[in-house]
């Protein structure tokens, strides 16, 4: 194919440069790698045509100002697991082509407002698995092109107004497994373009409906694992034109208003409610576009109040995992297989249970060798047809 890899020594200690060549053409991909080398300072001297710079697994502790001079073509910078506690103002100055910045698995607790100065193209920022207790508010005002912000597995306790100032184009905010207990109604004021909001594994006690009113374009909302016991009416109506995926699983959810999902019906494609404590379900009838639903591991009470769910299951062409927990005689039985709903007011249209009339016994199958024997006997009783019968014998033997 004419492609080869050249590894050359770099003036930086223990580093290597990987250039991907295509025949005699100049390198179109240039990777510089210094991962897991024990460096305590950011090495220098990398090629100015470097596109990917991998420095993960070192011991920098802090990133000084102007740490990457002459690297304007770097697109992806990896600084994971470098024990970083501070990023100084202008640390990345001059990296005007940087799109991906990985600062995951460090010891950051805060960020300077000018930490990302000089990164006009920054699009994907990874800050997961650090030590943030407060959302790094104000750190994104110089990165207007930011589209995805990863802050999973930190210790953030609240989301205050204005946290996304400067990041008005943000499309995805990942805050799974923090310690968030409170979300201001104005926390998402600057998130008009937000498409995905992941808040699973936090300590929210209610659906942040007011905050969602500021971010009416969210398609993917995840609240899994929050201790929300009750979902009230119209909880997701602010997202009625956009919401496609809704995760409310494993929350300890005990009750949902009949109208909890009002407004989101025409757009919603996936709904996850498994692993809760729901005995009844909200009204699913408006969910006309649903493609995936999971209701497993809920202690459903299979009595007349659950009739709307049974009627809905009858009408849709979806596999619905829903089993009874009570009454005891129905425990473990699929809701769809419970026929007592037909006796409930409004359940007359449900199919009747199968009758227990005895079915006629099926004829005992005859082994093919028996068939051959019968045919042979018949052939002997009528010699003038024996030639045709012998042909049939050969057909059976081939099968």
The pLDDT score that the predictor gives to residue 356 is 56
The pLDDT score that the predictor gives to residue 354 is 75
Helix (H, G, I), strand (E, B) or coil at 337: helix
DSSP state of 26: P
CB within 8 Å of 63: residues ≥ 6 apart: 42, 79, 84, 86, 87, 88, 91, 92
The pLDDT score that the predictor gives to residue 18 is 60
Q: Which of 70, 86, 101 marks a domain boundary?
A: 101
Residue 379 belongs to a domain: no
Residue 153 belongs to a domain: no
State the total domains in the chain.
2
First to last CA, the chain: 52
CB within 8 Å of 312: residues ≥ 6 apart: 284, 285
Residue 358 belongs to a domain: no
* Distance between CA atoms of residues 390 and 388, nearest Å: 5
Residue 355 belongs to a domain: no
The pLDDT score that the predictor gives to residue 365 is 55
The pLDDT score that the predictor gives to residue 391 is 40
Low-confidence ranges of the chain (pLDDT < 50): 1-11, 21-28, 358, 366-399
Residue 48 belongs to a domain: yes
Predicted structure pTM score: 0.83
Residue 270 belongs to a domain: yes
Give the pLDDT confidence of 298-322 residue by residue, as tens digits. Answer: 999 999 999 999 999 999 988 899 9
Residue 318 belongs to a domain: yes
Q: Which of 101, 119, 139 marks a domain boundary?
A: 101
CATH classification of the domain holding 340? 3.80.10.10
**Residue range(s) defining the domain that contains residue 39:** 1-101
Residue 19 belongs to a domain: yes
CB within 8 Å of 133: residues ≥ 6 apart: 109, 154, 155, 156, 157
Q: Phi-psi category of 211—alpha, beta or left, where left has phi over 0 and alpha has psi -120 to 50?
A: alpha
Helix (H, G, I), strand (E, B) or coil at 312: helix
* Distance between CA atoms of residues 258 and 251, nearest Å: 18
């Amino acid at each position: 194919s004419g492609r080869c890899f050249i590894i050359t020594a770099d003036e930086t200690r223990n580093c290597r440069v990987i250039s991907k060549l295509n025949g005699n053409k100049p390198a179109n991909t240039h990777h510089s790698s210094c991962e897991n080398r024990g460096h305590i300072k950011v090495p220098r001297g990398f090629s100015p045509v470097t596109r990917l710079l991998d420095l993960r697994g070192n011991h920098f502790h802090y990133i000084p100002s102007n740490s990457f001079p002459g690297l304007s073509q770097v697109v992806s910078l990896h600084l994971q697991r470098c024990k970083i506690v501070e990023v100084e103002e202008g640390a990345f100055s001059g990296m005007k082509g940087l799109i991906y910045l990985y600062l995951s698995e460090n010891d950051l607790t805060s960020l300077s407002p000018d930490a990302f100065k000089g990164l006009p193209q920054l699009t994907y920022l990874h800050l997961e698995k650090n030590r943030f207790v407060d959302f790094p508010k104000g750190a994104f005002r110089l990165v207007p092109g930011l589209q995805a912000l990863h802050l999973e597995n930190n210790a953030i306790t609240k989301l205050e107004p204005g946290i996304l100032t400067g990041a008005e184009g943000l499309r995805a905010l990942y805050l799974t497994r923090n310690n968030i207990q409170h979300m201001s109604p104005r926390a998402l004021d600057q998130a008009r373009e937000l498409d995905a909001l992941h808040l699973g594994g936090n300590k929210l006690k209610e659906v942040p409906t007011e905050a969602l009113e500021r971010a009416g374009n969210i398609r993917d909302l995840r609240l899994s694992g929050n201790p929300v016991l009750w979902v009230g009416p119209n909880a997701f109506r602010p997202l009625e034109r956009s919401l496609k995926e809704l995760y409310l699983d494993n929350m300890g959810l005990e009750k949902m208003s009949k109208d909890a999902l009002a407004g989101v019906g025409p757009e919603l494609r996936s709904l996850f409610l498994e692993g809760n404590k729901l005995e009844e379900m909200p009204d699913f009838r408006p969910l006309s576009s649903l493609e995936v639903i999971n209701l497993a591991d809920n202690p459903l009470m299979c009595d007349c109040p659950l009739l709307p769910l049974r009627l809905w299951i009858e009408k849709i062409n979806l596999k619905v995992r829903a089993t009874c927990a009570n009454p005891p005689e129905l425990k473990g039985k699929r809701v769809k297989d419970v026929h007592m709903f037909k006796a409930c007011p409004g359940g007359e249209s449900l199919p009747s249970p199968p009758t227990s009339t005895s079915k006629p016994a099926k004829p005992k199958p005859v082994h093919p060798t028996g068939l051959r024997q019968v045919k042979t006997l018949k052939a002997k009783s009528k010699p003038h047809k024996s030639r045709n019968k012998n042909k049939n014998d050969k057909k059976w033997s081939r099968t």
